Structure 1
Amino acid sequence: MKSTMHLAAQYLATAAISFIPKKDDDSHTNLGWVNHALETHPFPNGDKLGLNYEHFSLEWKYSNGNTEHLLLNNLKHKEIVEWISQMAAKNDLRNSYAYNLHYELPYPPISETTSFAITNQNELNHLIKNRDLAQYVISNVLEANHYKSPIRIWPHHFDTGAFINVTEKRSIGLGMATPDTIINDYYFYISGYNGHQPIDVTITNSSTKKTYYNDGWQGFAMSISELDKSSAIDFCQTAINTYINSEK
């Protein structure tokens, strides 16, 4: 279900590309996580498009709080595109909807007959649990350190992340990534930067050293299978403290 939800999230990304004024950092395409659903930034008319994990549906979220749903199970790509286009026209969005991405995904190309289906409900429930954990941990870490940052999901790599400017030059990226070449599981990561360059840190603690990566990508990472809410917060805080103390 991971690839299915990643692909389904691209309808939100392409809606954002179609309707929301472009930002140079692509942040107009990133998504929020609210009540077990992804959602776009507001469109010019105040509406949003959502992807509800519990109902496996797209949601047209009106600015007045009302919602219209499109159940995705066994729907074809062509039908989904038509629904979004109709909703956009009905709600007076000036731009027409187009399913056009400016990045590549690690899946076969979408065709008009590509369909979506719930193949594993337990796996879908697990994906919800992962996103909930990421939202909880990141928000608690931000609050504990008095950091201000939106927590957003980027539709390309599908990570949940926040970015904090600690000083004028130093910044920290914090989030949960999907399985990749670093760790073949969902994992929390913390990376520090001096300007655009990764911060080099000296690790003396043997347990901390096991979670530090310095081959291509520099930062701390740990599989969520080894963490609960409390230990995940502790892991993130320890990594942040390591970067903060490296300034001294």
Structure 2
Amino acid sequence: MKDQLHIAAQYLAAANMSFLEKKADDSHTNLGFNTDTMCMETYDLSPSGDKLSLNYKQFSLEWTSQSGATSLSLDGKTHGDILQWLQERAQTHLSKNYVYEFHYDLPYTIDADYTFKLTDVRQLEHLRNLRILAQHTLERIINKNALNSPIRIWPHHFDTGIYASLGEGSDVFIGIGMAIPDTISDKHYFYISAYKNGNAILPASYKDLSIGQWIDQGFKGAILPATNLVESESVQFLQEAIDQYKK
């Protein structure tokens, strides 16, 4: 289910790229997560507020416009079916072409016959809860540390993250978020890293964290597997690391 959601999120990224002005930092491609609707969302795709969403509860795509919302269940639909539906929505609501093209590589290869299947409802619920945990955790960290950053999901790596200066006048920037399984961890995990002059740093004399661990193997920073975590634990992990970076 994780891979299918990653693939499905690319439909949203392609919508951003098709209808929004390109930004040098690629931020026009990223996505948000709405914990009320349980949906991953594009930016507004038009002045009237058209939006494409990936519903983590219904396993569907939803196009919202001034005239209402239409949805397409992904279960049993092929990549070709979905592209046709999206092109029809784009022409009907925006009078523009939807283009499914990317300037980055993905770890998946699909063709027109690739078929989505809702194989595990419990796994879908688990992945939904992880996105909610990440969103709420980062909201608390932002508020507690007065950080200036939106919480966004980058479609390439599929992490929920923020990037911000440690404070007014500080030349240290931190990247914080929750990543999907990769070479660092075979589980979803929270991470934090800090940068100065574009180079990753570790605290000069860092202490062991009460939860999570510092690593310096390719990735310089701290990580915490998101297995059986509650929000207070993920917040504690990130705050302890931030406090050390501030010293």
Normalising by the smaller structure, the TM-score range is: over 0.9
4+ aligned runs moved over 6 Å, structure 1: none
Residue aligning to 1:218: 220
- Aligned equivalents of 2:228, 2:55: Cα separation in 1: 27
Write the distance in 2 (CA, Å) between the matches of 1:215 and 1:194: 18
Question: 1:98 maps to what in 2?
Answer: 99
The TM-score, its normalising length taken from structure 1, stands at 0.93
Question: Matched residues in 2 for 1:220 and 1:7: separation?
Answer: 28
CA distance in 1, matches of 2:209, 2:175: 21
For structure 2, list consecutive stretches of 5 or more residues without a partner in the other structure: none
Task: State whether structure 2 residue 19 is matched by structure 1 residue 19.
Answer: yes
Counterpart residue type for residue 78 of structure 1: G
Aligned match of 2:74 in 72, 75, 90?
A: 72
Q: How far apart are residue 26 of structure 1 and its match?
A: 1.0
The worse-fitting range, judged by mean Cα deviation, of 68-77 and 199-208 is 199-208
CA distance in 2, matches of 1:145, 1:221: 19
Distance 1:91 1:65 in 2: 9
What do the CA deviations read for 1:14-73 (whole angstroms, capped 9, x no partner)? Answer: 1111111111111111000012110001113421110001111101022x4832111111
**Displacement of 1:213:** 1.2
How many pairs are equivalent?
242
| 2:161–2:175 Cα contact (<8 Å) kept | yes
> Within 1, Cα distance between the matches of 2:217 and 2:21?
37
Q: In 2, are the aligned partners of 1:171 and 1:195 still within 8 Å (CA)?
A: no
Q: How does 1:1-248 map to 2 (within 5 A)?
A: 1-34=1-34, 35-45=37-47, 46-62=49-65, 64=66, 66-94=68-96, 96-107=97-108, 109-166=109-166, 167-207=169-209, 211-225=213-227, 227-245=229-247
Give the residue type in structure 1 aligned to 2:164: I
- Give the Cα separation in 2 of the matches to 1:163 and 1:9: 21
Give 5+ residue unaligned stretches, structure 1.
none
Offset, 1:93: 4.0
Contact 1:199 1:243 in 2 (8 A): no
Match of 1:91, SS state, is helix
For the aligned residue pairs, the C-alpha RMSD in angstroms reads: 1.6
Residue type of the partner of 1:105? L
Structure-2 separation of matches of 1:198 and 1:241? 17
Question: 1:198: how far off?
Answer: 1.0
Letter in 1 for 2:126: H
Q: Secondary structure at the match of 1:163?
A: strand
Question: SS in structure 1 opposite 2:246?
Answer: helix
Question: Aligned in 2, Cα 1:207/1:150: closer, same or farther, shift over 3 Å?
Answer: closer
For normalisation by structure 2, the TM-score amounts to 0.93
